[in-house]
Chains A and B, each alone.
Chain A
Amino acid sequence: MPTPEQLAIDRRAPLRVSVWQVRWRRFTDFTRRYARNRMAVIGLLIVLTWVVVGLFAPWIAPYGYDKTNYNAANQPPSFAHPLGTDALGRDQFSRMIWAARTALIVAPTATVVGVVLGVFFGLLAGYFGGWIDEIVMRLSDVLFAFPGLLFALLLAATLQPRLAAWLSQFERIKPWVRAGYVEFFVVVIALSLVGWPGLARLVRGQVLSLREQQFVEAARALGVSPWRIMWQHIFPNALPPVIVALSMSMGSAVVAEASLSFLGIGITPPTPSWGAMIYNEFASWRSPSAPWLLWAPGLAVAALTFAFNFIGDGLNEALNPQDRLT
């Protein structure tokens, strides 16, 4: 039986367990559950390796990515050039390393932008319904009507020269345009615009079933605002599939960036990209043939894609509270 003092609202009540203690415990719980999935740990290691390689490229790579040496063109692998050189005498091993930067800038940025857009519009459409839903869904239908890569290709091809020309008129920005940053920007825009409708649909579907749940009604009965219900109550429930989709689209964004570059639309030389490297070796005749010049970037793309997917699986298991055995 509580005393009246216990029942009274004491705004200065002492805290018994620190909030940070709880958060730390929750974090260690999470890492333990994640570590149970061995492939997820391997995936994380692969991604981290590439991140380190990309970050420290200037120190790791034996040559610059645009360093040409006509005296050493079309060389087979050797100690000086572990993956040989291309027709311009650029060290392929160094270019592989530099290209990790490109992949790890473009793919996560494009995915995150796409996911943020998708989650935002999906939540709005699903929760409020009505005309908001109509607009968002018809828009995504239009985007869905094009094959993803084709649409990204169209966007990148039409956007890139115009944007570059427009930005070149500003003296300050001109060197950035020259250095190829516009290409990154355009590829990110193209990939995220292609990516968001799928996510918006996924989120909307989740929200449609979640908003009818009794806990949403209970939250409304407690006076919680619609905006807060949407983000605090519905969004966390829709999160597991979003996280899986996030990691999957990370993987496919790596592939998409490579594809665009392979088709000569995305990142163009001298900026190194695995896709562009494959194209380069693919397009030029050479004897004796040099299959490692295709395999190496191809394997890099594959490894990164798989790694992201494994991470997705691991996160899904670790974040799903139903599986917690505590």
Chain B
Amino acid sequence: MGRLLEVKNLETRFHTQDGTVHAVNGVSFYVDEGETLGVVGESGSGKSVTMLSVMRLIPQPPGEITNGEVWFEGRDLLKIDKEEMREVRGNRIAMIFQDPMTSLNPVLTIERQITEVLELHLGMNHQQARARAIELLKMVGIPAAEERIDSYPHQFSGGMRQRVMIAMGLACHPRLLIADEPTTALDVTIQAQIVELVKRLRDEIGMSVIWITHDLALLAGLADRIIVMYAGQIVESSPVHELYKNPRHPYTIGLLQSIPRLDEKQRERLQAIEGLPPDLIDYPTGCPFAPRCRFAIEKCWEVDPPLEEVSKGHYSACWVKPEGAEIMHQWHASNTEESQ
């Protein structure tokens, strides 16, 4: 498996009236070919901004990518000119967004919106593009695609619209699909269908997927590797099963403890992470998670811990590196005792 995308030391800032927002702070990660990378973190942790920076879709001003490299197919995407970047977007890297209700243009037919990409990147004429668009709609499971293609977005349900978005994203057979919380606005059964659809298409087309979400449970059956983001940094990066089995960053442990589990025998209170994420304008020195951390030691307040390998392929940015498995076991044990 070759490297498809490699992001090095990415930094994105937003210059606002209240000051500079440190949205992404030295993020480095990679995606291999055919691999699915899950990106987890709470709202405002920089997941979306990181991916928008990769796509160079940050509005400038107020945004600015102040540092970093984005290597994709032998080029640094941050260095190529605008026209070249437009060729990459939609063609080599596609992106689908959170809310399918607003991601489609309400006054253009589905046909117009899908054929546009095909005409733009593959130089098809309108007839070819239309025929191809119908195939794409069938591929993503839209029934009666020949008739539905001339509909307007408001004639589709949310799940169907997300399928259309996926069809648009996959129209040119991109190497990489960036899915920015694509199921958040959908109900649970539709969510599962969309996840299954992306998995199937990923395997058929052989593309890589970056799946942004705040739902750790959803990634278990989907991702190969997961990175956890907090305050614009990657705090933990691990193969998927290792992360669930043995989380090493206190934030990840907190996240896992806050997922309700059906296999618990006893009813118990969910453990929430106390406090709020740091102010990204007045960025703290030291570990950004320290104020909320149960394990914080003095060093945490002074020096920001680097991402270090704790076991093969498993990285964590923490001075303490508590054994997550042990803690969670203990915690569950104590909770069960209390409730008995």
A positions within 8 Å CB-CB of B: 1-2, 4, 6-7, 9-17, 19, 22, 25-26, 213-215, 217-225, 232-233, 236-237, 239, 321-322, 324, 326
Q: How far is the CA of A207 from the CA of B85 in the complex (A)?
A: 24
By Cβ-Cβ distance, the 7 closest A-B pairs, closest first, are A222-B90, A223-B89, A13-B131, A223-B90, A221-B95, A214-B102, A223-B86
- Give the Cβ gap from A236 to chain B, nearest Cβ, in Å: 5
Chain B hits for A2, CB < 8 A: 135, 138-139, 204
Q: How far is the CA of A218 from the CA of B114 in the complex (A)?
A: 12
Residue of B103, B111, B200, B205 with highest tally of chain A CB at under 10 A: B103
Residue of B105, B108, B120, B135 with highest tally of chain A CB at under 10 A: B105
In the complex, B104 has a CB within 8 A of chain A: yes
Q: How far is the CA of A6 from the CA of B103 in the complex (A)?
A: 26
In the complex, B55 has a CB within 8 A of chain A: yes
Q: Is the CB of A9 within 8 A of B57?
A: no
Q: Is the CB of A12 within 8 A of B128?
A: yes
Contact A215-B55, Cβ < 8 Å, known A11-B124, A19-B126, A19-B127: no
Residue of B nearest to A214 (CB): B102
Chain A hits for B132, CB < 8 A: 9-10, 13
Q: Is the CB of B135 within 8 A of A15?
A: no
Q: Is the CB of A236 within 8 A of B108?
A: yes
Q: In B70-106, which residues have CB < 8 Å from any A CB?
A: 85-91, 94-99, 102-106
Residue of A nearest to B92 (CB): A223
23 pairs, CB–CB < 8 Å, chain A vs chain B: A7-B204, A9-B122, A12-B128, A13-B128, A13-B131, A13-B135, A14-B131, A15-B127, A15-B130, A22-B111, A22-B150, A214-B97, A215-B105, A218-B95, A218-B96, A218-B97, A218-B104, A219-B105, A220-B57, A222-B168, A223-B121, A224-B116, A324-B152
Q: Is the CB of B91 within 8 A of A223?
A: yes
- Give the Cβ gap from B133 to chain A, nearest Cβ, in Å: 10
Q: How far is the CA of A218 from the CA of B135 in the complex (A)?
A: 21
Q: Is the CB of B120 within 8 A of A233?
A: no
- Give the Cβ gap from B97 to chain A, nearest Cβ, in Å: 6
Knowing that A214-B97, A218-B103, A218-B104 are A-B contacts, what are 8 other residue pairs whose CB atoms are under 8 Å apart, sorted by A's residue number? Answer: A4-B204, A11-B124, A16-B146, A217-B103, A222-B90, A222-B120, A223-B120, A236-B105
- In-complex Cβ contact of A321 among B89, B106, B200, B204 (8 A): B106
- Give the Cβ gap from A92 to chain B, nearest Cβ, in Å: 48
Residue of B nearest to A4 (CB): B204
Chain B hits for A213, CB < 8 A: 102
Residue of B nearest to A11 (CB): B128
Chain A hits for B130, CB < 8 A: 15, 17, 19
Chain A hits for B96, CB < 8 A: 218
Q: How far is the CA of A295 from the CA of B54 in the complex (A)?
A: 69
- Give the Cβ gap from A60 to chain B, nearest Cβ, in Å: 42
Chain B hits for A7, CB < 8 A: 139, 204-205
Q: Is the CB of A220 within 8 A of B89?
A: yes
Chain B hits for A214, CB < 8 A: 97-99, 102-103
Q: How far is the CA of A201 from the CA of B226 in the complex (A)?
A: 48
Residue of A nearest to B108 (CB): A236
Q: In B172-192, which residues have CB < 8 Å from any A CB?
A: 173
Chain B hits for A1, CB < 8 A: 200
Chain A hits for B219, CB < 8 A: none
Q: How far is the CA of A223 from the CA of B139 in the complex (A)?
A: 22
Chain B hits for A222, CB < 8 A: 89-90, 94, 116-117, 120, 168-169
- Give the Cβ gap from A254 to chain B, nearest Cβ, in Å: 30
Residue of B nearest to A13 (CB): B131
Chain B hits for A13, CB < 8 A: 128, 131-132, 135
Chain A hits for B228, CB < 8 A: none
Q: How far is the CA of A226 from the CA of B190 in the complex (A)?
A: 33
Chain B hits for A15, CB < 8 A: 127, 130-131
Chain A hits for B134, CB < 8 A: 16
- Give the Cβ gap from B16 to chain A, nearest Cβ, in Å: 16
Chain B hits for A219, CB < 8 A: 105
Q: How far is the CA of A17 from the CA of B128 in the complex (A)?
A: 12
Q: How far is the CA of A57 from the CA of B22 in the complex (A)?
A: 72
Q: How far is the CA of A7 from the CA of B87 in the complex (A)?
A: 21
Q: How far is the CA of A118 from the CA of B155 in the complex (A)?
A: 32
Chain B hits for A14, CB < 8 A: 131
- In-complex Cβ contact of B107 among A6, A22, A237, A326 (8 A): A237
Q: How far is the CA of A1 from the CA of B146 in the complex (A)?
A: 17
Q: In B116-171, which residues have CB < 8 Å from any A CB?
A: 116-117, 120-122, 124, 126-128, 130-132, 134-135, 138-139, 146, 150, 152, 154-155, 165, 168-169
Chain B hits for A25, CB < 8 A: 150
Q: How far is the CA of A92 from the CA of B116 in the complex (A)?
A: 57
Residue of A nearest to B61 (CB): A130
Chain A hits for B128, CB < 8 A: 11-13
Residue of A nearest to B171 (CB): A222
Residue of A11, A215, A321 with highest tally of chain B CB at under 10 A: A215
Chain A hits for B155, CB < 8 A: 326
Q: Is the CB of A217 within 8 A of B89?
A: no
Q: How far is the CA of A26 from the CA of B127 in the complex (A)?
A: 18
Contact A223-B88, Cβ < 8 Å, known A13-B132, A214-B97: yes
- In-complex Cβ contact of A232 among B116, B138, B150, B154 (8 A): B116
Q: Is the CB of B116 within 8 A of A221?
A: no
- Give the Cβ gap from B42 to chain A, nearest Cβ, in Å: 21
Residue of B nearest to A215 (CB): B105
Q: How far is the CA of A324 from the CA of B154 in the complex (A)?
A: 10
Q: Is the CB of A221 within 8 A of B89?
A: yes
Q: How far is the CA of A142 from the CA of B97 in the complex (A)?
A: 42
Chain A hits for B86, CB < 8 A: 223-225
Contact A223-B105, Cβ < 8 Å, known A13-B135, A321-B154: no
Q: How far is the CA of A6 from the CA of B87 in the complex (A)?
A: 24
Q: How far is the CA of A222 from the CA of B113 in the complex (A)?
A: 10
Q: Is the CB of A233 within 8 A of B97?
A: no
Q: Is the CB of A215 within 8 A of B88?
A: no
- Give the Cβ gap from A83 to chain B, nearest Cβ, in Å: 47
- Give the Cβ gap from A239 to chain B, nearest Cβ, in Å: 7
